[in-house]
Chain A
Amino acid sequence: MTDIKYAAPDTIEEAVAILAAANGSGRVLAGGTDLLVQLRAGIAKPGTIVDVKKIAEMTTITETDGAFRIGAAVSGAVIGEHEALRTLWPGVVEAINLIGSTQVQGRASPGGNLCNASPAADSVPAMVAAGATVTIQGPDGRRELPVEKVAAGPGRTNLAKGEIVVSFTLPKRPKGSGDAYLRLIPRTEMDIAVVGCGVSLTMDGDTCTAARVGLGAVAPLVLLVEDAAKALVGSKLDDAALEAAAEACRAACKPIDDKRGTIVYRTKIAGVLLKRATAIAAERARSH
């Protein structure tokens, strides 16, 4: 067995330097709920593990002028207890809180969920719907990416060597906004999404003035379904608009048949969840 180097630096600069020096064999450890499982299964064989939980910027939540910056390594449990986030972004919070079990929530982070790059990651469709951007730091400095641009394919990201996702930014949103995330699993917990759907809306009275839809587990990447959003914007979320948005979701699906679901089932459920998540998001928007 080869030795694994472990480092737990206090600053992002140090973390980036260690990761860059690992020359491709480095892995970032936040909660470890994916990495440690992969280590045990022999799937991941890193030479260096960079634990980022001592880096303040990555483990705190800050609010500035209505926008939230969530450290990439903040645990689901901490996010779930954040009153302001729960009030303004209930869909994002419920999506993050669906990852794993209660015990896993104490460790699992949105940064880890994103960088694991599973198309079925629960937090990602909700983040996509929320219009979240991520701040990435690497040897060449900082850059920003829309959350949907981070994954490159199942298990692969667009991060360059030495780059670390530092935080998520949720934009300030107008009054009358709400979001929701729903996933379908055959059980009631401890499972992986067969389909996941995040919807974020802004309502002016009964009329939808802005919408974003994120769809998970129906393609190699989590999808931003712009056609679904278009079908909703300007409508009163009537049956015709909802069906058009559902159809857009079904049309966007490029799923596979596997042990977790069939192409037919996943495609159908994408439409079902769009309608249900939209109804919840709209209800939340109206009460804001």
Chain B
Amino acid sequence: MSARPYKWIGTRPNRPDGADKVTGRARFGADFALPGQLHGKVLRSPHAHAIIKSIDVSAAAALPGVKAVVTSKDFPEQPNLTVPAGEMQVNLRDVTRNVMAREKVLYDGHAVAAVAATTEAIANEALALIKVEYEVLPHVIDVEAAMAPDAPILNDQLRTEGIDPRPENPTNIAKRLDFAKGDAAAGFAQAEIVVQHRYTTQPVHQGYIEPHAALASASADGQVQVWSTTQGHFQVRGFCSRLLNIETSQIRVTPTEIGGGFGGKTVVYLEPVAIRLSQKSGKPVKMVMSREEVFRASGPTSGGIVEVKIGAMKDGTIVAAECMVALQAGAFPGSPVGPACMCSFACYDIANIKVVGFDVVSNRPKVAAYRAPGAPISCWGVESTMDMLAQELGMDPIELRLKNAAKEGTKTHYGPTFNRIGLVETLEAAKASPHYQSPVKRGFARGVAAGFWFNVGADSSAAVHVGEDGTVTVISGNPDIGGSRASLALMAAEELGIDYNKVRPIIADTASIGFNFVTGGSRVTFATGLAVVNATKDAVRDLKIRAAKIWEVEPEAVIWEDGMAKPASSNVGEFEPLSLAQLAAMAGKTGGPINGHAQLNAQGAGPGFGVHIVDLAVDPETGIVTIDRYTAVQDVGTAIHPSYVEGQLQGGAVQGIGWALNEEYIYNARGRLDNAGFLDYRIPVASDLPMIETVLVEVPNPAHPYGVRGVGEVPIVPPMAAIGNAIARATGVRFGDLPMSPPRVSAALDAVRPAMAAE
């Protein structure tokens, strides 16, 4: 990279929230308490699918110490209305049913009732006294079974959307999506080589270490306060407002520090229940999920089926591509099948593309957003098939991708034409990386895969307050899940021309800053960053006015440079520069406090592309995969704080490695989750992994003053295929099914080499 024009952007200072986090002082969701608070607990369904015939809470309510009991009767019916939640869309009629089951329970762990009591032990005792009469129904867990004509139907009212005419029969297929560019059939007719394969993936949980937690306090006058671990406290406010018929101005939500979210904390589970319990009991109510509840009842991302077919000429030019994606949405419609379809071939400039998607309900918890929702699933299929094509052609996998790479001006199969993007630069950087340039060690094999994510913009508000000593507070409203406070402070320091340590960022509650869309979609550093830059510019504009007043010149005659107001030229007059501290000290005499504000709907989020390289070994007897070296290369626009950008690339890669190798939900024959804990839901542990190397490619986004692109989601897209491609090259066996866990790898190797089993 060439020399930076910036003083602060691109540097690596400590994060403002770092000291409290490493010393245990930071307060997370479960750390908040109020005097007199009650403990709220949820009764959950033991059945995957059942009609709720009756609920008798009388014995529970009569237990000494129990102060309130709620069931679905305490939550008003909601309209059939779809609203955005993070990167997903949710239907309010379904959300209220997910928060508290109404007619039916639809998955093991579905909330049925809740109690608030003076102690946790009494609350648990009360749950055991609630009598629920169920009529157990046949259930269906997996996508393919749920799509079958004779499958148990979750919702009798559901008809497949997206098919004309709309079918008349009840179904579990909520929606069909179609995307097309050119003429896929004609493209395949022209192709000299056609490769195709079928893939499946298992649902995987976001695996945030901090379970959901909320504390709600409803006052007698109708005002409500909530403390919650969430990626979007404005969304918590919005959902609670709708689900409980409370005006937004009556609800004040304070976000706590958040111990991981990855998309999974963009929806509500506990908050509406805690508020209702608080309203009924007149006391504050605190609710904290157990790990088991997190797994049984909070959203993973979908599992699914992906079928991919790619046609190419012998020189590697891809002329046609087809993809079918069927994703399980959980108990209610709304899987990320849309983004899965859109991301499938977004990396490539292909003339003829056909993509079909299906959104399918089954008796599992409703899926929630998870880091680039949908994209890792379709890309597992597409990037594995790309590798098959590279092998058929005898072509280097990076060269094949370069030959077909999308670039500025490429029209995607889902509509938009790319602006300035950095896939070619990223592929070139991957090719030139020390990892790719190194020889593959004996006994190891190398895999490569690419990935894409849109990144989003949306609504943000920010304020910049200049203190009386000239230090600055940056106020925004997005929970910090990836180091965003540091990035926002760096941008404000850069704009103001003052030291980073003179800028302190805080995350304000819903009553203390204007609306902000969730922390999600890799949007915060881009969109909220833009709001902070604009708010800082607003403060600088005022600072120049104040200097102009002092100097008795026109504001246009003042410039802002190196943290000081200076005369624009010698024509203005001879004035000593006025520092921010000096101007702050004189603020009372020049017009009062100096603050900047901005609010916007950010447009032009720059899409991101990543290329991952992995070297691994497969134990032919045990099927255990050992990752020896891993490099994540990504176009990050401009790395505002490179350490935290690298952290995003490493974190995404690690979650992808878990997805590839071990993570899965295991349901028993009765449809109950059998591995609701971190012992048997195997996310990677530190000793499983090498240091994840990173290469930051910087192709600035023209729609942001500092060139920011979102970086947090792209890195979870390529890992599964990169690993599968390396395994295929190590063993000669192409895996279609995730996870590539030791028993599965072992069985697949034994199937092609029967002699192995007996050895």
The answer on a CB contact under 8 Å between B687 and A184 is: no
The answer on a CB contact under 8 Å between B742 and A186 is: yes
The answer on a CB contact under 8 Å between B684 and A187 is: yes
30 A–B contacts, CB within 8 A, in A order: A1-B121, A184-B622, A184-B624, A186-B624, A186-B661, A186-B662, A186-B682, A187-B682, A187-B684, A187-B687, A188-B685, A188-B687, A189-B687, A190-B679, A191-B679, A194-B742, A258-B674, A259-B675, A260-B680, A262-B743, A262-B747, A264-B743, A265-B623, A265-B742, A265-B743, A265-B746, A268-B621, A268-B746, A268-B757, A272-B621
* Nearest chain A residue, comparing its CB with the CB of B675: A259
Q: Chain A residues in contact with chain B, CB under 8 A?
A: 1, 184, 186-192, 194, 243, 258-262, 264-265, 268-269, 272
User: How far apart are A228's CB and chain B's nearest CB, in angstroms?
Assistant: 16
Let me know if B741 is at the binding interface, CB within 8 A: yes
Let me know if B429 is at the binding interface, CB within 8 A: no
**Interface 1/0 per residue, B657-690 and A, CB below 8 Å:** 0000110001000000011000110101101100
Contacts of B742 in A (CB 8 A): 184, 186, 194, 265
Contacts of A260 in B (CB 8 A): 680
CA distance A268 to B675 in the complex (A): 24
Contacts of B662 in A (CB 8 A): 186-187
Interface of B: prevailing SS: loop
Within 8 A of A (CB), among B615-658: 621-624
CA distance A102 to B433 in the complex (A): 36
Contacts of A272 in B (CB 8 A): 621-622
CA distance A111 to B687 in the complex (A): 27
**Interface 1/0 per residue, B726-759 and A, CB below 8 Å:** 0000000000000001110011001000000101
The answer on a CB contact under 8 Å between B622 and A269 is: yes
Contacts of B624 in A (CB 8 A): 184, 186
The answer on a CB contact under 8 Å between A192 and B743 is: no
Contacts of A259 in B (CB 8 A): 666, 674-675, 680
Other A-B contacts than A184-B624, A184-B742, 7 sampled, CB-CB below 8 A, are A186-B624, A187-B662, A188-B688, A189-B685, A259-B666, A262-B743, A265-B746
CA distance A259 to B741 in the complex (A): 12
CA distance A191 to B624 in the complex (A): 14
CA distance A120 to B27 in the complex (A): 38
Interface of A: prevailing SS: loop
CA distance A259 to B757 in the complex (A): 22
Contacts of A258 in B (CB 8 A): 674
Residue pairs across A and B with CB atoms within 8 Å: the count is 52
CA distance A190 to B741 in the complex (A): 16
Contacts of A186 in B (CB 8 A): 624, 661-662, 682, 741-742
Contacts of A1 in B (CB 8 A): 121
Contacts of B682 in A (CB 8 A): 186-187, 191
User: How far apart are A224's CB and chain B's nearest CB, in angstroms?
Assistant: 24
Within 8 A of A (CB), among B574-631: 621-624
The answer on a CB contact under 8 Å between B688 and A187 is: yes
CA distance A285 to B675 in the complex (A): 41
CA distance A259 to B688 in the complex (A): 20
> For this complex, into which size category does the number of interface residues on chain B fall?
20 to 34
CA distance A1 to B253 in the complex (A): 34
Contacts of A184 in B (CB 8 A): 622, 624, 742
Contacts of B623 in A (CB 8 A): 265
- Enumerate the 4 nearest inter-chain pairs by beta-carbon distance, A residue then B residue, closest first: A265-B743, A188-B687, A259-B666, A1-B121
CA distance A268 to B121 in the complex (A): 46
* Nearest chain B residue, comparing its CB with the CB of A1: B121
CA distance A189 to B746 in the complex (A): 20
User: How far apart are B12's CB and chain A's nearest CB, in angstroms?
Assistant: 30
Contacts of A191 in B (CB 8 A): 679, 682
CA distance A184 to B747 in the complex (A): 15
With A184-B622, A259-B674 known as contacts, the answer to whether A190 contacts B746 (CB < 8 A) is no
* Nearest chain B residue, comparing its CB with the CB of A272: B621
User: How far apart are B517's CB and chain A's nearest CB, in angstroms?
Assistant: 37
Contacts of B661 in A (CB 8 A): 186
CA distance A261 to B680 in the complex (A): 11
* Nearest chain B residue, comparing its CB with the CB of A247: B758
CA distance A243 to B675 in the complex (A): 35
Contacts of A262 in B (CB 8 A): 743, 747
CA distance A262 to B680 in the complex (A): 14
User: How far apart are A247's CB and chain B's nearest CB, in angstroms?
Assistant: 9
**Interface 1/0 per residue, B362-396 and A, CB below 8 Å:** 00000000000000000000000000000000000
CA distance A1 to B119 in the complex (A): 11
Contacts of A190 in B (CB 8 A): 679, 685
Within 8 A of A (CB), among B172-207: none
User: How far apart are B339's CB and chain A's nearest CB, in angstroms?
Assistant: 30
User: How far apart are A286's CB and chain B's nearest CB, in angstroms?
Assistant: 24
CA distance A161 to B520 in the complex (A): 58
* Nearest chain A residue, comparing its CB with the CB of B621: A272
* Nearest chain B residue, comparing its CB with the CB of A276: B621
Contacts of B679 in A (CB 8 A): 190-192
Interface centre among A184, A194, A259 (most CB of B within 10 A): A259
Contacts of B121 in A (CB 8 A): 1
Contacts of A187 in B (CB 8 A): 662, 682, 684-685, 687-688
User: How far apart are B344's CB and chain A's nearest CB, in angstroms?
Assistant: 30
CA distance A130 to B741 in the complex (A): 32
* Nearest chain A residue, comparing its CB with the CB of B664: A259
Contacts of A189 in B (CB 8 A): 685, 687
User: How far apart are A135's CB and chain B's nearest CB, in angstroms?
Assistant: 32
The answer on a CB contact under 8 Å between B743 and A261 is: yes
CA distance A1 to B516 in the complex (A): 45
User: How far apart are A94's CB and chain B's nearest CB, in angstroms?
Assistant: 15
Contacts of A194 in B (CB 8 A): 742
* Nearest chain B residue, comparing its CB with the CB of A257: B743
CA distance A189 to B622 in the complex (A): 16
The answer on a CB contact under 8 Å between B747 and A264 is: yes
* Nearest chain A residue, comparing its CB with the CB of B678: A190
Interface centre among A187, A189, A192 (most CB of B within 10 A): A187
Contacts of B687 in A (CB 8 A): 187-189
CA distance A264 to B622 in the complex (A): 12
CA distance A272 to B679 in the complex (A): 24
CA distance A272 to B624 in the complex (A): 13
CA distance A262 to B622 in the complex (A): 13
**Interface 1/0 per residue, B219-234 and A, CB below 8 Å:** 0000000000000000
CA distance A264 to B743 in the complex (A): 9
CA distance A190 to B675 in the complex (A): 15
CA distance A184 to B619 in the complex (A): 12
User: How far apart are A273's CB and chain B's nearest CB, in angstroms?
Assistant: 9
Contacts of B684 in A (CB 8 A): 187
Contacts of A188 in B (CB 8 A): 685, 687-688
User: How far apart are A266's CB and chain B's nearest CB, in angstroms?
Assistant: 9
CA distance A265 to B746 in the complex (A): 8
* Nearest chain A residue, comparing its CB with the CB of B757: A268
Interface centre among B622, B679, B680, B682 (most CB of A within 10 A): B622
CA distance A11 to B757 in the complex (A): 53
User: How far apart are B6's CB and chain A's nearest CB, in angstroms?
Assistant: 41
CA distance A268 to B619 in the complex (A): 14
CA distance A262 to B745 in the complex (A): 13
The answer on a CB contact under 8 Å between B747 and A265 is: yes
Contacts of A268 in B (CB 8 A): 621, 746, 750, 757
User: How far apart are A246's CB and chain B's nearest CB, in angstroms?
Assistant: 9
CA distance A262 to B220 in the complex (A): 57
User: How far apart are A198's CB and chain B's nearest CB, in angstroms?
Assistant: 17
Contacts of B747 in A (CB 8 A): 262, 264-265
CA distance A262 to B757 in the complex (A): 14
CA distance A1 to B122 in the complex (A): 8
Interface centre among B624, B685, B743 (most CB of A within 10 A): B743
Within 8 A of A (CB), among B506-559: none
User: How far apart are B427's CB and chain A's nearest CB, in angstroms?
Assistant: 32
* Nearest chain B residue, comparing its CB with the CB of A188: B687
Contacts of B622 in A (CB 8 A): 184, 269, 272
Contacts of B688 in A (CB 8 A): 187-188
Contacts of A269 in B (CB 8 A): 622, 746
